[in-house]
Amino acid sequence: MSVRVDGKKSDGVPEGTKRLSRLARILKGPRPEHVPAVVGTVAAVIGLLDILAGVVPRWRWSRVHSFAEVLPGSVTQLAAAGSIIVGILLLMLAHGLKRAKQQAWLAAVVLLPIGAAAQLIYRHSYPGVAFSLLVFAYLIWHRKAFFALPDPRSRWKALANFVLMGAASFGLGWVIVGSHPKQMIGDPPVLEQIEHVIWGLFGFEGSIRYTGGVDYTVGYSLGALGLLTVATTAFLAFRPAYPAAVLTEEDEDRLRELLDKHGARDSLGHFALRRDKSVVFSPSGKAAVSYRVVSGVMLASGDPIGDVEAWPGAIEKFMELAKRHSWTPAVAGCSETGGEVWTRETGLDALEMGDEAIVDVADFSLTGRSMRNVRQMVKRIERNGYSTKVRRVGDLGPEELEAVQKAANAWRDTEDERGFSMALGRIGDPKDLDAIIATAHKDPEEGEDCPFGDLRAMQHYVPWGPDGSSLELMRRDRSADPGMNELLIVAFLQAAPDLKIKRLSLNFAFFRSALERGGKLGAGPVVRIQRTVLVFLSRWFQIESLYKFNEKFRPRWEPRFVVFPNSRDLPRIGFAMMQAEGFLELPRLLRRRPAEPKASVHDEDAVSASEVTRAA
């Protein structure tokens, strides 16, 4: 019960008691879960100060340098190289410390005493030694706060480190070479400065000369940068690697058993069989969550697979694994029921991300004014000589299936396959013979170059329980008439009764409700602004066009949600989702080649499949 005193709300607790409680919280320090964030931020700030103290000469006698002297990692006034290297190492450790990584904690625990010894020997800075040891003791006292296991390892990270660290060392070395203009003899041109940096990184003396002993400072700094690049690259290259994270045959078989029993519940269930995902099962084995780790986000897609009553067990295992590795847990595209279970069991929050278009076969018809545009388009294409075939994958001959596979790859817009939430990533697998392929055909005209014969377009549908299908892939020859996708969807819906299909899931329409409400008469300014932003983004992403395409078939809309820990995590989760779906791609140099499935990877600490990028 609360009361008001002098117009202010009071809960009945004396003000003196409140002040004592606040003072106690301050003296107690940050809560254990906040320790990694605090330490990581301090490490980053100290790293920047150390780098600036080593690169910018005048800062050595400034107040900023005087402040940096008593911080962990600072070294003597003449040891600019050591200051720069320690600063870089602290910056490299900062992110790991924020994520509560055990290895980052161990590295910081090792480096802090070394920094303290350096200050005592070279600087005789007793405050700096005391502060370093204080931070060292703080880390030891809160060692249990740094529990996270290492992220998945890859030999490609060594190459990426060599390229990125080499580029950073070169840039920083160029700054060091040019940061002593008054002590530099002559005015060497840019090419000579570049040559001096390159020779210095390899440990050799360049052609530029300095006065006042600056030669040693620059030479040691460049040599230390080069040594740091080589040392970190060698460490990443020769450390033991974890087993490749892919969906094993045994895990896939277990998922298929769950889908046979409960696959009708979620249209996205079959996409859990992507072989670049990992899976975690409930203790009873009656439910599972498939996921991929992207940029530190443990991203699940759709609802958990299996018995709804066993979902909490699978979700608990998912959250335990995310906590153990300090990954950010998130779910993309879960249903309303799935979102309720996720938020209830984990305390996470949910946000509507769009709607799924579902067409009931029994209610579909081309008659009526609302279907006029689709009807006219289909009739026009058929008059132009196109025909369609809708069959199970198992009913296609080997040669025809091979032609469809090659055509699908050749007609792809991007170099790599896109998709995560509603993409399987393969066609014609022996375990997916119950999938459905719809094809459009037209005999080539005289002189027309058609490498795939009369095949002009194709669509791939995966099972959604015993009586449903989900559209997985749409591809067409760019020389074919417009409207191939509409033609094949109509053909599929017309053939669905013979295939015993009662419902079809089309695509997601992201932020459909905002687009729909914002275009209506009387829409408020906030909704109109949202729609304007979405229309603008549709220039690069299929937002408005996908909504309009789905709306042609008069579907019913089922909301889909994204589940996330905090609002501040949404940008990072959105970035990870775009990476997973293939809309944002890392440079090819930084990506891993796909690994073949291992015999068994069942340890719940196994590497996430997100680190294996499937080839085109």
* Each residue's pLDDT tens digit, 193-208: 888 888 877 767 777 8
d(CA 338, CA 336): 5
What's the total number of domains in the chain? 4
Residue 612, in any domain of the structure: no
388 and 469, same domain (yes or no): yes
More confident residue, 231 or 271: 271
CA distance from start to end of the chain: 63
- Backbone angles phi and psi of 59, in degrees to 5: -70, -15
Contact 273, 246 (CB under 8 A): no
373 and 490, same domain (yes or no): yes
Q: How many CB atoms lie within 10 A of CB 150?
A: 16
Residue 24, in any domain of the structure: no
36 and 134, same domain (yes or no): yes
504 and 564, same domain (yes or no): no
Question: Which of 324, 318, 325, 310 minimizes the C-alpha distance to 346?
Answer: 318
Residue 3, in any domain of the structure: no
| Residue 446: both structure tokens together | 């005289």
Confidence at residue 321, expressed as pLDDT on a 0 to 100 scale: 86
Residue 104, in any domain of the structure: yes
pLDDT digits (tens, 9 = 90+) for 558-593: 999 999 998 888 888 888 888 887 665 544 434 444
Q: What is the DSSP string of 205-264?
A: --S--BSTTHHHHHHHHHHHHHHHHHHHHHHHHHSPPPPP----HHHHHHHHHHHHHHGG
503 and 516, same domain (yes or no): no
Confidence at residue 215, expressed as pLDDT on a 0 to 100 scale: 73
Domain boundary among 214, 238, 262: 238
489 and 374, same domain (yes or no): yes
Residue 288, in any domain of the structure: yes
Confidence at residue 81, expressed as pLDDT on a 0 to 100 scale: 56
| Residue 37: both structure tokens together | 């964030």
Confidence of residue 52 (pLDDT cuts 50, 70, 90): low
d(CA 106, CA 125): 25
Least confident of 58-72, 279-293, 315-329, 391-405: 58-72
158 and 277, same domain (yes or no): no
300 and 232, same domain (yes or no): no
Name the pTM for this structure: 0.64
Residue 395, in any domain of the structure: yes
490 and 393, same domain (yes or no): yes
115 and 42, same domain (yes or no): yes
Question: Residues with Cβ < 8 Å from 240, sequence gap 6 or more?
Answer: 153
* Residue 455, helix vs strand vs coil: strand
The strand pairing partners of 356, in sequence order, are: 508, 558
Domain boundary among 106, 126, 145: 145
The domain containing residue 194 runs over which residues?
A: 152-238
State the greatest distance between any 2 C-alpha atoms of the chain, in Å, as a whole number.
Answer: 94
> Any alpha helices (H) in 70-125, and if so which ranges?
80-98, 102-118
| Residue 236: both structure tokens together | 């990443």
Q: Which residue has the tokens 């196994």?
A: 606
| Residue 483: both structure tokens together | 């409207």
Q: What is the DSSP string of 260-289?
A: HHHGGG-TTGGGGG-TT-EEEE-TTSSEEE
pLDDT at 225 over 90: no
The strand pairing partners of 5, in sequence order, are: 8
